[in-house]
Structure 1
Amino acid sequence: MANTYFQFKQFTVNQEHCAMKVCTDACIQGAFTAQYLVDHGFAVKRILDIGTGTGLLSLMLAQVHPAAITAVELDSGAALQARENFAASPWRERLEVKEGDVRQLAVSEKFDFIISNPPFYESALKSGHLQKDKAMHATSLGYSELIAAVAANLKPGASFSILLPHVEFQAFRTLAEAKGYHLNQLLQIKQSGKHGYFRAVGIFSAAARETVITDMDIRDMENQYTPAFVSLLKAYYLKL
């Protein structure tokens, strides 16, 4: 895999457009999912990115997989930023932004794979800042609605990837399994060996199989990036 044109450690959203920033855990989801597609996504030709924000996940997947990617974003400022990022990328011909609510998304054909870094903390208190709340809470799309949107847009037997806080992940998994989606792969993330799990990346499909579980610390006891983190992200972080 060639290094991406972005230098992700320094890339942030233009604050004139949107309050969201590129964060390390989203990069981990993108890299973990991209590797899954490299290993298992031979038949994946069309990908849907729900709640694309800046377009980070779409760009990471486009770097390593030849699929056409449709990115849906409700926030107009974030959608504008994603369009600008896509237009500046080497993969612009395969990337498309649709501004609007995924629940009203009209497509002629369902997708082979879906990725989403959805609003966090469905039941948590809100900050009072509208854009931040929309980014960090399930204000516009709750977990049940997200699963319904996945079901409406995903081909039978296909897979999807999701990033959530570790505490919230089990509730989402329960809802997903009730709708017939099984957890195939789970990446549990810790800031370091001194911390507990704080994020989880799950890849779900309708196929019921034993869950492959991987644990990863971002930093070691000397506050340096761990070999596992470097191995996963080195294709995307130009200075890693």
Structure 2
Amino acid sequence: MSAGFQCKQFYIGHQHCAMKVGTDALLLGAWAALPTALQATPAMLDIGCGSGILSLMLAQRTGGQIPITAVELDTNAATQAAANVALSPWPDAIRVIKGDILTYSTAERYALIISNPPFFQHALPSQDATRQQARHTDSLPFAALLDKAASLLAPAGEFSLVLPAASQQAFTAAATARGWQCLRLCQVQTTAGKPVSRYLQSWSRSTIATFAEPASLLIQDGAGVYSAQYRDLLRDFYLKF
């Protein structure tokens, strides 16, 4: 298995992380809307940062000019994320904290909260405890994640995340029950003709938020060729693009 993943401007080591760099994180890191100049609190928060891939993608997109806090529960992953940040072009932009987001306390309020969260519910446990923690909602149930994000989000902020299609209905029900409004939703198909595999989404606590019609993103056509849409989204990160 690869020890890491090379992007155009930085390298992500992930050999000590339960979850390796994958399509979900790369899509989310490129898709999430950045804080605007009008927001008084431009800071960003990465919940469950793993190897640090999302934080580093955001740092690249903002030129390291907006501070990012990355919180990770697993000790090995937090250590690896800190090492990846230190070797990146933006070592001062990202602060990695080893800890549980549910007990994380700060007076800061974030304009963007981003997460590639655990998503398996009521599934058979993994024999690997760190993989179980990273993938199963036992360690971070949707309700707890939403409540914590609500307490840390700036008034005009957005909460962006990616979930597999099988988890989308449960998450949406939990979010709407807590007063969240969906700002953007993107249905992702891995291959043309296949069902939607995952959802990119952005949520707000604003009562004036308006829901946009779902967008669609195709990764590969039927012949296995990357779509122009996918290439455009990840052009600044993938070496092959």
Offset from partner CA, 1:145-167 (integer Å, 9 cap, x none): 10111012112232110111112
4+ residue stretches of structure 1 with deviation over 4 A?
none
Partner of 1:152: 151
Give the unaligned 5+ runs of structure 1: none
Q: Give % identity.
A: 38
- Higher deviation after alignment, 183-192 or 102-111: 102-111
Task: Provide closer, same or farther for how the CA distance between residues 22 and 41 of structure 1 changes in structure 2, counting only shifts above 3 A.
Answer: farther
Q: Is the 8 A contact 2:185 2:202 kept in 1?
A: yes
Amino acid across the alignment from 2:94: L
State the 1:123 CA deviation. 2.7
Distance, in Å, in 2 between the alignment partners of 1:194 and 1:104 is 43
Q: Is the 8 A contact 1:79 1:97 kept in 2?
A: yes
Partner of 2:97: 98
State the 1:50 CA deviation. 0.4
Distance, in Å, in 2 between the alignment partners of 1:213 and 1:28 is 16
CA RMSD in angstroms comes to 1.7
Distance, in Å, in 2 between the alignment partners of 1:209 and 1:227 is 28
State the 1:55 CA deviation. 0.4
Offset from partner CA, 1:77-111 (integer Å, 9 cap, x none): 00011001100111111100010001111212221
Distance, in Å, in 1 between the alignment partners of 2:24 and 2:161 is 11
Whose helix fraction is larger, Structure 1's or Structure 2's? 1
Matched, 1:58 2:59: no
Offset from partner CA, 1:171-201 (integer Å, 9 cap, x none): 1112111211111101111111131111111
Partner of 2:4: none
**TM-score under structure 1 normalisation?**
0.90
Q: Report matched runs for 1:1-240 at 5 Å.
A: 4-6=8-10, 11=12, 13-14=14-15, 17-33=16-32, 36-37=33-34, 40=36, 42-43=38-39, 45-65=42-62, 66-207=65-206, 208-240=209-241
Amino acid across the alignment from 2:232: S
**TM-score under structure 2 normalisation?**
0.90
